[in-house]
Amino acid sequence: MNLSVQSIFLASGICFASCFAAEPPLLPKNIDAAPCAKPPQIDGVIGKDEWNEAPLHSTSVSFVRIDPALTETRACTLRVMNSANALYVVLQVPDATADESITPLQLDAAMLAFNAGAELAPLSDRKVIAPGLYRDKHVLAGGKGDAEDAKQDGLGAMKREAGVATFEWAVPLNSGDKHDCQINAGESIRFNIAYFDALQLPFTKTIMGGLYGPVVDRATEWGTLRLAKSVKDDGGVAFRGPVWVDDVKRALNELSPSRLRVTSQAPLTGTASGAAVVGMTFSYVDAVGKPTEAQAKIYLPSTFSPDKRSAFPLFFAAGYEAPEAGVIPFLNRQWIVVTPSALPTNPLIRLMNPDVTLLHLSRRLPWIDDTKVIVSGGSAGGWMTLLLSAETFPLSGAAPDVPPVNWGYNAAYFFKQLDKAGPAAGKTAARIPALFGVGTALVPSVKVHGGDFNDETWLASSPVAHVSTITCPVSVCWSTADVLVPIDQVGSQWVQEFAPNTFPEGFTMNPTKLLTSREGCLTLIEALSKDDYELFSIEVPKGTRRQHGAEGTGKMEIRDLAVSKDKRWSITIVDEGPPTPDIDHRKYALLTTRNAFLDHVSTRTLDVDQLTLPKLRRLMARYAGMEWLPSRLKHLDLPENEQQDVLRGLRTYVSVSPAHAEAFAKLYASLPSDEQRLDEPAVKALSTPQSSGKDDEK
């Protein structure tokens, strides 16, 4: 349910930067790029001899902040060089404090901006780097914000050492994308680089500077970059991944030629040398049955080999695109990571269709250990994680963060109170900023599900309606102070009443005051059996920094989530006190990790009891093409892909041990005859232990 990190910090770059007048720059207005014979490795590190061809430009950059007021200067350096096919830029900025938090947003970032003239033009190119994240964007018409490029061109990486942040860019010349800068060797273009120190909400608390002033929505004060003319093509070495990526691309294109197409490949910065990321487009059927195309990325660890005998665990990031900074820990575990990319709407609007299809395709990859698949996501991505866990089989584990579990309740909470969350009469500032911003963005979901929040369609799209088919280990956490996903839908025992004068009059989180149906008020704890879960709690340590308000005081804390030894659900509640209007999901800078859970689920075999009668009935319904949404909405993949995925999952399960095969045989025999969808040879094969399920896939 959180906002896109990329859209947040680019919106902030425009809205915040325009608050300042540009200081007279000390950097020359005209910068000549040096000829480049050998491209640098784009990893955020100035390697030996990599940038020797480029002169060092040293400059004093003015930095400013509105609240609290701050002005300062920092000694920054710039190097620029180009070949016939690429521009290479490196910026170094002193910054002693590392800000790398995505949730909540507090992130160091830099934007390389281009423009053809003095007036900012639509489609002008922007290349943004943050820790573990690179995005290719462009200016929208009228200069009103930025948007993702459909085709992500270029590379960028950031590293920090000894109090200095280093940013490296590789920008292709004439990429063929109208959203990229149109320039050739020997030509000139206006440019600026803006630096965001601890970008956060509200934007006025961000420290910002730029080579030619912090303004990025006007180009009048920018400098001019003149590219070297007498240069050769360097072969695009900087943009390519390891040699074996060509074999990966070939295998991916052959996996499902009608549905999946490779669009890009690149080395992955910020991790061991040899890791790579491959961009893809894939087709799926949306919630109203319309064929649609989406994007995805697959991250491959440095030890990867396209040899089909290799088998890697799969980490599937659900709902939102995983930033590269979040991917790296899993690559360091030698796992493959798959994530949707640049999807146009929030998961709660588009529903689970693209994620279902992408997960089906991912599990068919010849390099995946199908007994080691973990799904994870936060907020609406956590909601998606739980619904995918109910749908797919088997899974090693599910790791949702702050997921809405009763979507009917959460929707009523949002949409019945938007007027209370928004600005008061005569005011411009929202009274509950995160709730108003996210709730407004989610209004289209009412058209998807209908305006009656008590209706069964809302319940059917809620994890509380599917707990009987979530049979894998689950590690989940919530906060008592969450304003976007109120703890009321998890269990009433954790509700801490907020002081009435802190929120607008009449504002409530009480389900019974928002809904009339029992289903709309159903909590997760009520839906679960007591034998299914173990509860854990985390107290916020004294001195932990507040997320909003007093950001400059206190410290950040990290806690690893506890894992139940014998219960399916490990539920952690972070006690942050009652909600307050100024927060989103969390009140304090207390970050949670899941190292113990990931170790637990990735080193054990699949439990026999992961296949239950309700789960098998769900699988047979999928095999028969039966939708569970009680409306015109659809969630299933194409029939042949659903059948293939069901059989693959069952083959994986029975291959674990004779006990697993015996459990399947007994459960299948207990199904009503009209739910026994498989043919006799398939049932016989599944009732016998097998070494692998993938070799038999057609």
Q: Work out whether strand 125-130 and strand 106-115 pair parallel, antiparallel, or are unpaired.
A: antiparallel
pLDDT, tens only, 505-525: 999 999 999 999 999 999 999
Looking at residue 189, what is its pLDDT?
A: 96
Percent of the chain with pLDDT over 70: 92
- Residue 688 near residue 668, CB atoms below 8 Å: no
Q: How many C-beta atoms surround the C-beta of residue 460 within 10 A?
A: 20
Three-class secondary structure of residue 164 per DSSP = strand
Looking at residue 8, what is its pLDDT?
A: 39
What's at 418, amino acid-wise? L
Residue found under tokens 């991912």: 362
How far apart are the C-alpha atoms of 476 and 467, rounded to whole Å? 13
Angle of CA points 153, 115, 296, to nearest 5°? 20
Q: Which residues contact 314 (CB under 8 A, 6 or more apart)?
A: 335, 336, 337, 338, 362, 363, 365, 368, 369, 372, 373, 374
- Confidence class of residue 270 from pLDDT cuts 50, 70 and 90? low
- Confidence class of residue 499 from pLDDT cuts 50, 70 and 90? confident
Find the mean pLDDT for residues 464-471.
97
Least confident of 130-139, 166-175, 222-231, 596-605: 130-139
How far apart are the C-alpha atoms of 33 and 67, rounded to whole Å? 37
Looking at residue 102, what is its pLDDT?
A: 67
b/e burial code for range 77-104 (CB count within 10 A of at least 16 → b): bbbbbbbbbbbbbbbbbebeeebebbbb
pLDDT, tens only, 608-640: 999 999 999 999 999 999 988 767 888 999 999
Nearest-CA neighbor of 262 among 253, 273, 275? 253
How far apart are the C-alpha atoms of 165 and 522, rounded to whole Å? 49
Question: Among the three residues 238, 264, 291, which one is the final residue of a domain in this structure?
Answer: 238
CATH of the domain at 38: 2.60.40.1190
How far apart are the C-alpha atoms of 159 and 153, rounded to whole Å? 20
pLDDT, tens only, 433-448: 999 999 999 999 999 8
How big is the chain, counted in residues?
698
Looking at residue 41, what is its pLDDT?
A: 86
β-bridge partners, 430: 423
Angle of CA points 379, 380, 381, to nearest 5°? 85
How far apart are the C-alpha atoms of 33 and 185, rounded to whole Å? 10
In a domain, 195, yes or no: yes
Tokens (6 digits) for 195? 């630096």
Question: Per-residue pLDDT for 687 more than 70?
Answer: yes
- Residue 412 near residue 450, CB atoms below 8 Å: no
Nearest-CA neighbor of 411 among 375, 373, 449? 449
- Residue 620 near residue 675, CB atoms below 8 Å: yes
- Residue 418 near residue 440, CB atoms below 8 Å: yes
- Omega before 394 within 30 of 0, i.e. cis: yes
325 against 123, higher pLDDT: 123
pLDDT, tens only, 8-59: 343 333 334 444 444 545 799 999 999 999 999 888 889 888 999 999 999 9
Dihedral-angle region of residue 590 (phi above 0 means left; psi in -120 to 50 means alpha; beta otherwise): beta
- Confidence class of residue 103 from pLDDT cuts 50, 70 and 90? low
- Residue 507 near residue 417, CB atoms below 8 Å: yes
How far apart are the C-alpha atoms of 615 and 75, rounded to whole Å? 61
In a domain, 133, yes or no: yes
- Omega before 681 within 30 of 0, i.e. cis: no
- Residue 174 near residue 145, CB atoms below 8 Å: no
pTM score, whole prediction: 0.78
pLDDT, tens only, 139-174: 987 666 788 887 888 888 888 999 999 999 999 998
In a domain, 290, yes or no: no
Looking at residue 143, what is its pLDDT?
A: 65
Find the mean pLDDT for residues 564-570.
96
Question: Per-residue pLDDT for 6 more than 70?
Answer: no
Least confident of 220-234, 269-283, 409-423, 655-669: 269-283
Whole-number CA gyration radius for the chain: 26
How far apart are the C-alpha atoms of 585 and 101, rounded to whole Å? 13
Looking at residue 659, what is its pLDDT?
A: 96
Q: How many domains does the chain fold into?
A: 2
In a domain, 197, yes or no: yes
Looking at residue 148, what is its pLDDT?
A: 83
β-bridge partners, 62: 73
What's at 688, amino acid-wise? T
In a domain, 398, yes or no: no
Element (H, E) at 391: helix 380-391
In a domain, 33, yes or no: yes
DSSP string, 591-639: EEE-HHHHHHHHSSPPPGGGS-HHHHHHHHHHHTT---SSSS------H
Q: Residue 153's domain spans which residues?
A: 5-238
- Omega before 444 within 30 of 0, i.e. cis: no
pLDDT, tens only, 330-362: 998 999 999 999 887 899 999 999 999 999 999
Find the mean pLDDT for residues 119-128.
90
DSSP assigned state of 232? -
Question: Among the three residues 191, 221, 238, which one is the final residue of a domain in this structure?
Answer: 238
Residue 159, classified by CB atoms within 10 Å of its CB into exposed (0-12), middle (13-18) or buried (19+), is: middle
Looking at residue 271, what is its pLDDT?
A: 61
DSSP string, 276-343: EEEEEEEEEE-TTS-EEEEEEEEEE-TT----TT--EEEEEE-SSPPPHHHHHHHHHTT-EEEEEES-
- Confidence class of residue 269 from pLDDT cuts 50, 70 and 90? low
Question: Among the three residues 238, 255, 286, which one is the final residue of a domain in this structure?
Answer: 238
Three-class secondary structure of residue 448 per DSSP = helix
Highest averaged pLDDT of the listed ranges 13-27, 120-134, 645-659, 678-692: 645-659
How far apart are the C-alpha atoms of 248 and 244, rounded to whole Å? 7
In a domain, 175, yes or no: yes
β-bridge partners, 279: 264, 297
In a domain, 218, yes or no: yes
Average pLDDT of the chain? 89
How far apart are the C-alpha atoms of 436 and 440, rounded to whole Å? 6
- Residue 236 near residue 85, CB atoms below 8 Å: yes
Find the mean pLDDT for residues 532-560.
84
Looking at residue 2, what is its pLDDT?
A: 41
CA atoms within 13 A on the CB side of 340: 30
Nearest-CA neighbor of 414 among 385, 444, 459? 444
- Confidence class of residue 104 from pLDDT cuts 50, 70 and 90? low
Tokens (6 digits) for 276? 């790579």
What's at 127, amino acid-wise? K
Looking at residue 265, what is its pLDDT?
A: 83
Q: What is the dihedral of CA 464, 466, 472, 473, to 10 degrees?
A: 0
Question: Per-residue pLDDT for 587 more than 80?
Answer: yes
- Residue 509 near residue 606, CB atoms below 8 Å: no
How far apart are the C-alpha atoms of 41 and 25, rounded to whole Å? 29
- Confidence class of residue 556 from pLDDT cuts 50, 70 and 90? confident
How far apart are the C-alpha atoms of 425 and 663, rounded to whole Å? 63
Percent of the chain with pLDDT over 90: 68
b/e burial code for range 536-575 (CB count within 10 A of at least 16 → b): eebebeeebbbbbeeeeeeeebebebbbbeebbbbbbbbe
Nearest-CA neighbor of 278 among 270, 286, 267? 267
Looking at residue 75, what is its pLDDT?
A: 95
- Confidence class of residue 481 from pLDDT cuts 50, 70 and 90? very high
Element (H, E) at 524: helix 524-527
| N- to C-terminal Cα separation, the chain | 37
